[in-house]
Amino acid sequence: MIDIRLIRENPDLVRDNIRKKFQDAKLPLVDEAMRLDRANRAAINEASELRAKRNSLSKQIGMLMGQAKKDPAKAAEAEKIKAEVKADGERLAELEQLEDKYKAELRAVMMQIPQIIDPSVPIGPDDSANVEIQRFGEAKVPDFEVPYHTELMERFGGIDLDAARDVAGSGFYYLIGDIARLHEAVLAYARDFMIGKGFTYMIPPYMMHGAIVEGVMSQSDMDAMMYKIEGEDLYLIGTSEHSMIGRYINRLIPAETLPHTLTSYSPCFRKEKGSHGIEERGVYRIHQFEKQEMIVVCRPEESMDWYEKLWRYSVELFRSMDIPVRQLECCSGDLADLKVKSCDIEAWSPRQQKYFEVCSCSNLGDAQARRLNIRFKDADGKISLAHTLNNTCVAPPRMLIALLENNLQADGSVTIPEVLRPYMGGKERLEKAPAV
């Protein structure tokens, strides 16, 4: 959510930003925001004038009543002023209701206007215009067939989709044996990797109130992603950074404690509406998965430096597991409304012979902080909105697709990357196992 002062002072900049995001249907929102802002300020000003007038008239009434003993006409004059005060009081009550109404309507409109994107963001209508920035590691295609990822997992007796479908429907899974253990090894390694970078490990609530959901994401994203608990003001989290950022609601942070660098583990629950194509069957897009996340709360002047650090941590992590990756800059039309700048880290798939998304790094500027009232206070007493950032550390089981494919050997075994072996009891390879 942007500052209303920006719309007052430079509405054309806001309109231009909307056009850059290819959301022309939202252009009328700028005029509507200005109309509501003018009406709200007019109501506030009139109410302030009436309060000042009431104070002045109250003093006159007191003086007149004091003089009424000697001059009965003064009492009549006082009563006349009392009637005026009463009428003004009724108008003041109306104005206070109008202030609440305009404030709520203005907030609803402002919540739909996208955040101002960074000048470095490439302009394009959708993800087809995203720009590859650089590659890390050699993307190899082996001289043997690489099976579909669920077939690979089945070779090791590691997945049961049929039973999961019977129990919970499509989009769920059972992971078994070494595949389940590898899943947890990746999460444990990612946790320790981020702790080694100085991040504080946290486990957040897996549900959150509607006010937090509204504060951390757009309405369209909320409708497409979130599962609501029937009859309660609670939603299952779709990603842990939402409840992690929600932790700071209405907080005034001492500036000397910034930045706050956090890494969080959680299960995640998503509707995943719509069809995503044949390559997203299996465990690519699912309703339930686990994730290790990176979150930063910092000063505005530090946020772009942290953005650079966060996506590079993802590259370092994946390269340590022998997985080639690339950085893909998200274009304007592919940015969610709250984002200032974002990039994806994509892993190489030897089977598909292309890259696919495994991490998403985002700088949200002050958008979440403005919605949730997250501020910091400098030593000189100045209060400012913080900036928030997030990045996927790892999100298995999708990440397992990249790990299994890139470490598959010609004999059908999978080499376990050295960094994961301590979490696998020293095991160096996955070998075909009997089904469970």
H/E run at residue 261: strand 260-269
CA 139, 145, 151, 152 dihedral sign is negative
Catalytic residue among 15, 155, 247, 270: 270
* 312 carries an active-site annotation: no
- Which residue out of 247, 351, 375, 398 is catalytically annotated? 398
Cβ(273)–Cβ(332) under 8 Å?
no
Cα radius of gyration rounded to whole Å, the chain: 29
Q: Between the CA of residue 65 and those of 29, 53, 54, 78, 81, what are the distances in Å?
A: 53, 18, 16, 7, 11
Q: From the candidates 285, 299, 312, 429, which is the catalytic residue?
A: 285
Among residues 263, 191, 194, 188, which one has the least CA distance to residue 421? 188
Is 46 part of the annotated catalytic residue set? no
Question: Could you tell me how many helices (H) and strands (E) the chain has, helices first?
Answer: 13, 18
Among 63, 7, 71, 72, residue whose Cα is nearest residue 34: 7
**Cα–Cα distance measured from residue 182 to residue 185, given in angstroms and rounded to the nearest whole number:** 5
Instruction: Kindly name the residue from 357, 384, 421, 429 that is annotated as catalytic.
Output: 357
CA distance 79 to 86: 10
Q: Is 426 left (phi over 0), alpha (psi -120 to 50) or beta?
A: left
Evaluate whether 16 touches 24 at the Cβ level (below 8 Å). no
DSSP output for 237-259: -SSHHHHHHHTTTT-EEEGGGPP
Planar angle of CA 189, 296, 264, nearest 5 degrees: 35
- Provide the token pair at 20: 């850059």
Both structure tokens of 421: 């072996």
- Whether 155 is catalytic is no
Note if 357 is an active site residue. Answer: yes
Reduced to 3 states (helix: H, G, I; strand: E, B; else coil), residue 375 is strand
**Is 301 an active-site residue?**
no
Please say whether the beta carbons of 159 and 400 come within 8 A: no
Marked catalytic residue, from 314, 332, 342, 360? 360
Q: Whose CA is closest to 115, among 384, 392, 341?
A: 341
| Planar angle of CA 363, 217, 373, nearest 5 degrees | 80
Q: How far is CA 435 from CA 129, 139, 176, 396, in A?
A: 44, 32, 9, 22
Residue positions annotated with a catalytic role? 270, 285, 357, 360, 398
